């Protein structure tokens, strides 16, 4: 680049894109590795879809909800349009349906990768971020719902996330109730808006049995045990019974397996659950803006296999956990035999070699962030001050 | 996707793109992790540039060589063109120059990530592949050249690569010799073509002292010790002396540190070293088509800091190493208490939970690829046949 000096604009990245520097990039990679390891420990097997696919596959069916968020590229080979993935869940569902149709169900798959979005949102200005998640495909059992929630919790615990809350919701509940009560489309939209604002007065203003019922459902939200009790007292239409039953059973399983898990229920939440078809959840951490992840039931692939799963957002997870421990770096003086460095590395040291003779080794160690120096065949601690 | 059955085309991916399935995706991730760990052990710190950048930064200077290989996207926010990275080395060089100009030199950085290319080549039909590498920025010492070669070798050894050969080259040598002998541009191109074909007769046909000298340089190639001896006997123009000196010194350092390393020298190779400015190398493995990686000296950033480094190509590396070990999976019968599964996982098992009662557990274990079953509080081995 000698004849091309860096212009100020060369240092600029497009909005919502950034470089991760030391030690953050390593920290992120380790955290992703640990989350994935937890998924493996629970029998989930990793798949890796490509960064780009044909638009037709990527953005059909439930993928339509992602169309506006997806960068498009022309494929010079096929002359067809391709999309850069903006979400990995549906890629994994495609793999389950088209590449692994004969693999035994339930099929447990995990994934980690980067996604790109055309525009950021206010809560998530990033246009590139990491997704790490699992899909459990081919099981309608409440045990499947409970398994993925517990897995999200144990994975986050494994990376040191503190104050995690899992907020359960059933995005199908309100639409089912509205249909059972014969609300018009306009009324349903009105209910939806009012519920999204958690505006009790506006919900009540729907009037009649619907208004009363929806206010009671909304009011049931809160810590799981109390919410389940409150919901059980609501006189739901029969068609909504399966939704309540599943929620109740899953809470029982979760409470038995993880009595200390912070579990809340928000029975009217459905924003962001565009392709979910049943019990869903959002993960938060105390003091962290935005969600750490979300998941829930959906229909996977062409024949609509029942599936559930979740995605964690790497950037938010990193804000909810402690930073990386300081590295154990040791400076190797110029000419240190290769075998001596190798021995130190095998003992867990990160070795930093001095490339030429004559340096003030203590000063060089401090300059290179090494807390120790290899001197005369011994490990010598570097004092903070010269 | 219930109302959108999968068309055959949904299962199709664009040419050169593919899904990695179990166990390959996990194997790849582990190998990348182990390579990166080896870089960390040698004091290299990870950075992570974004998948896309402004075209102006990504494709200027030495990046111009990549322009044809790079997918372009319009940024709806800035209305500027962006490129999807087709190589990570220059991104890392940009980070060193613009984001870490004050970090102490030599600066040791590592990276791992996916790149996309507009078209594959015959040797590498993939349009998406992984790069894993390091850059050592800010040192002209031969110790720096030796360090990165040794690091490539030790990283590949760490993942079990066998029969690795490192082929050293000096892409600046032939151009320097041609200039010193006052060859015309046409003659130099002719030399280049003949050398690329290793066509001794055509090189000799240049005639005069140039033809003779170039034939002797080409003939010097081969195992490192013999090649260094042969090259030392060649009467090189003085301006080519630094290239020979560096090659000789680096071979000395490599031989001292790793006497069993398979080291060859090809003094006339320069294909694919478009932005290299000095000692470079390509890595091969016995029986594996294509290169495992390549690296060498270049000038980094706006003020042309001396730098060297290398990139390994994940897909080729995977072809040079043993496959993954079989997982230790154990089936947990329906209703196994959560704490029992957790204990097994802590002992290194991958647990696979049965989601409903009533299954034939031995058959289910076989179906789910579990070699063991958790039965009555004991680990029971599953026989291959019922």
Query: Which residue in this structure is represented by tokens 């570097």?
Result: A382
pLDDT value of residue B244: 96
CB of B117 less than 8 A from some CB of A:
no
Mutate which: B145, B355, B360, B372, vs A, most A CBs within 10 A: B355
CB < 8 Å to A372, chain B: none
CA angle A250, A252, A258 (to 5 degrees): 95
Query: B83 touching A, CB under 8 A?
Result: no
B208-219 and B185-196 helices, crossing angle to 10°: 30
Tell me if chain A has a CB within 8 Å of the CB of B2: yes
Is A46 part of the contact surface with chain B (CB cutoff 8 Å)?
yes
What's the mean pLDDT in B50-59?
92
* Cβ within 8 Å, pair B6-A45: no
Tell how far CA A186 is from the center of its chain.
34
Instruction: Give CA–CA dist A218/B115, Å, rounded.
Output: 47
Contacts of A351 in chain B (CB under 8 A): 41-43
pLDDT of residue B2: 37
Q: Do B53 and A367 touch (CB under 8 A)?
A: no
**Average pLDDT per block of 10 residues along chain A, 386 residues long:** 48 93 97 98 98 90 85 94 94 94 96 96 90 96 98 98 96 94 92 93 88 95 97 96 97 97 95 85 96 93 87 96 95 97 97 95 96 96 77
Q: Which A residues in the span 266-305 are in contact with B, Cβ-Cβ below 8 Å? A: 299-304
Alpha-carbon distance B378 to B357, whole Å? 19
Q: Are the CB atoms for A130 and A112 separated by under 8 Å?
A: yes
Give yes or no for A33 touching B (CB within 8 A). Answer: yes
What span, in angstroms and rounded, lies between the C-alpha atoms of A370 and B42? Answer: 12
Is there a contact between A77 and B14 if contact means CB atoms under 8 Å apart? yes
Shortest alpha-carbon distance between residue B217 and chain A (Å): 29
> β-strand A372-375 against A329-332: which pairing, if any?
parallel
pLDDT of residue A65: 82
Q: Which residue of A has its CA nearest to B41?
A: A350
Given a cut of 70, is residue B7 above it in pLDDT? no
What's the pLDDT band for B3 if we cut at 50, 70, 90? Answer: very low
Contact: B5, A302; criterion CB under 8 Å: yes
- Cβ within 8 Å, pair B302-A73: no
Give counts: helices (H), strands (E), chain A. 13, 16
> Number of A:B CB contacts under 8 A?
284
Q: Which CATH superfamily is domain B20-160+290-325 in?
A: Bira Bifunctional Protein; Domain 2 (3.30.930.10)
Confidence of residue B253 (pLDDT cuts 50, 70, 90): very high
Residues of B in contact with A356 (CB under 8 A): 141, 143
Of B76, B118, B139, the CB nearest to A119: B76
CA gap A41, A267 in Å, rounded: 32
Distance (Å) from the C-alpha of residue A268 to the closest C-alpha of chain B? 24
Q: What is the β-pairing status of strands A128-137 and A81-84?
A: unpaired
All residues of chain A having their beta carbon less than 8 Å from the beta carbon of residue B60 are 1, 4, 10
Are the beta carbons of A52 and B95 separated by less than 8 Å?
Answer: no
* Look-up of token digits 């950048």: B53
pLDDT at site B32: 98
Task: Specify the pLDDT at position B271.
Answer: 84
Q: Does A95 touch chain B (CB under 8 A)?
A: yes
Interface of B with A in 9-28 (CB under 8 A): 9-23, 25-26, 28
Alpha helices (H) along A20-141:
24-41, 55-58, 89-94
Least confident of A109-113, A343-347, B19-23, B61-65: B61-65
Of B33, B50, B342, the CB nearest to A19: B50
Q: Would you place residue B122 in the very low, low, confident or very high pLDDT band (cuts 50, 70, 90)?
A: confident
What average pLDDT score do residues B5-22 get? 80
Rg (CA), chain A: 26
The closest CB to that of A355, out of B75, B141, B350, belongs to: B141
B183 and B177 Cβ atoms separated by less than 8 Å: no
* Domain A1-158+289-325, CATH among 3.30.930.10, 3.30.428.10, 3.20.20.120, 3.50.50.60: 3.30.930.10
How confident is residue B56, by pLDDT bands cut at 50, 70 and 90?
A: confident
The pLDDT assigned to A7 comes to 53
Q: What is the pLDDT of residue B10?
A: 64
pLDDT at B5: 47
C-alpha triplet A239, A241, A247: angle, nearest 5°: 135
Q: What is the C-alpha separation between A280 and A250, in angstroms, rounded?
A: 11
Closest-CA distance, B63 to chain A, in angstroms, reads 9
Q: How far is A49 from chain B (nearest CA, A)?
A: 4
**CB-based burial, B349-376: b 16+ in 10 Å, e otherwise:** bbbbbbbeeebebbebbbebbbbbbbee
Nearest to A350 among B40, B76, B369 (CB): B40
CB contact under 8 A, A77 and B353: no
3-class SS of residue A291: coil
Task: Bin B106: left if φ > 0, else alpha if -120 < ψ < 50, else beta.
Answer: beta
Q: Are strands A222-223 and A262-265 parallel, antiparallel or unpaired?
A: antiparallel
Q: For A281, what's the count of Cα atoms within 13 Å in the CB-facing half-sphere?
A: 31
Q: CB-CB: which of A11, A51, A301 is closest to B128?
A: A51
Our CA-based measurement puts residue B259 at a distance from the nearest CA of chain A, in whole angstroms, of 11
Please compute the mean of the pLDDT values over residues B183-207 and round it to a whole number. Answer: 92
Mention every residue, 6+ apart, whose C-beta is less than 8 A from residue A352: A329, A330, A331, A332, A368, A369, A370, B42, B43, B108
How does pLDDT run across B299-324, given as a tens digit for each residue? 887 678 999 999 999 999 999 999 99
* CB nearest to B21's CB, from A17, A28, A100: A100
- Kindly provide the b/e burial profile for residues B204-229, where b requires at least 16 CB atoms within 10 angstroms of the residue's own CB: eebeeebbebbbbbbbbbeebeebbe
> Residue A234, class by beta-carbon neighbours within 10 Å (0-12 exposed, 13-18 middle, 19+ buried)?
middle
- Residues 6 or more apart whose CB falls under 8 angstroms from that of B310 comprise B133, B134, B148, B149, B151, B152, B281, B283, B293, B294, B295, B296
Nearest residue, CB atoms, A50 vs list B7, B17, B47: B17
Per-residue pLDDT, A94:
92
Q: Which of A10, A34, A350 to mutate to test the interface with B (most CBs of B within 10 A)?
A: A10
Contact B128 A52 (CB under 8 A): yes
Q: Does B333 touch chain A (CB under 8 A)?
A: no
Task: Name all contacts of B198-207 with Cβ < 8 Å and 24+ positions apart.
Answer: B198/B268
Structure-token match 């994994």, residue found: A92
A138: distance to nearest CA of chain B, Å? 11
Least confident of A2-11, B258-267, B281-290: A2-11
Percentage of residues of chain B with pLDDT beyond 90: 85
Average pLDDT over residues B238-258: 97
């Amino acid at each position: 680049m000698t004849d091309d000096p860096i212009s100020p604009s060369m240092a600029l990245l497009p909005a919502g894109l950034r470089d991760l520097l030391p030690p953050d990039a390593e920290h992120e990679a380790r955290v992703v590795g640990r989350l994935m390891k937890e998924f493996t420990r629970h029998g989930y097997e990793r798949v890796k879809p490509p960064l780009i696919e044909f638009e037709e596959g990527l953005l059909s069916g439930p993928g339509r909800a992602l169309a506006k968020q997806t960068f498009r590229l022309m494929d010079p080979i096929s002359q067809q349009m391709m999309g850069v993935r903006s979400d990995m869940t549906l890629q994994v569902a495609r793999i389950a349906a088209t590449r692994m149709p004969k693999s035994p169900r339930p099929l447990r798959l995990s994934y980690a990768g980067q996604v790109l979005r055309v525009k950021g949102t206010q809560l998530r200005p990033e246009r590139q971020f990491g997704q790490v998640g699992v899909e459990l495909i081919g099981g309608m059992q409440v045990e499947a719902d409970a398994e993925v929630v517990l897995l999200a919790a144990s994975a986050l615990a494994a990376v040191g996330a503190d104050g995690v809350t899992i907020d359960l919701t059933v995005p199908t509940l309100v639409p089912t109730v509205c249909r059972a009560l014969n609300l018009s489309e306009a009324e349903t939209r009105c209910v939806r808006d009012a519920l999204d604002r958690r505006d009790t007065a506006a919900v009540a203003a729907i009037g009649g049995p619907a208004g009363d019922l929806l206010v009671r459902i909304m009011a049931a939200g809160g810590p799981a045990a109390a919410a389940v009790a409150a919901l059980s007292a609501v006189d739901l239409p029969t068609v909504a019974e399966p939704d309540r039953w599943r929620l109740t059973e899953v809470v029982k399983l979760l409470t038995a397996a993880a009595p200390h898990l912070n579990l809340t229920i928000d029975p009217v939440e459905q924003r962001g659950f565009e392709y979910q078809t049943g019990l869903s959840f959002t993960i938060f951490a105390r003091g962290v803006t935005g969600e750490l992840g979300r998941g829930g039931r959906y229909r996977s692939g062409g024949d609509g296999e029942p599936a559930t799963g979740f995605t964690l957002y790497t950037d938010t997870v990193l804000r909810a956990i402690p930073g990386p421990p300081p590295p154990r770096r040791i400076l190797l003086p110029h000419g240190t035999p290769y075998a001596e460095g190798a021995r130190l590395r095998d003992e867990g040291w990160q070795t930093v070699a001095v490339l030429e003779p004559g340096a003030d080794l203590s000063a060089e160690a401090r300059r290179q962030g090494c807390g120790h120096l290899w001197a005369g065949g011994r490990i010598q601690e570097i004092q903070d001050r010269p």
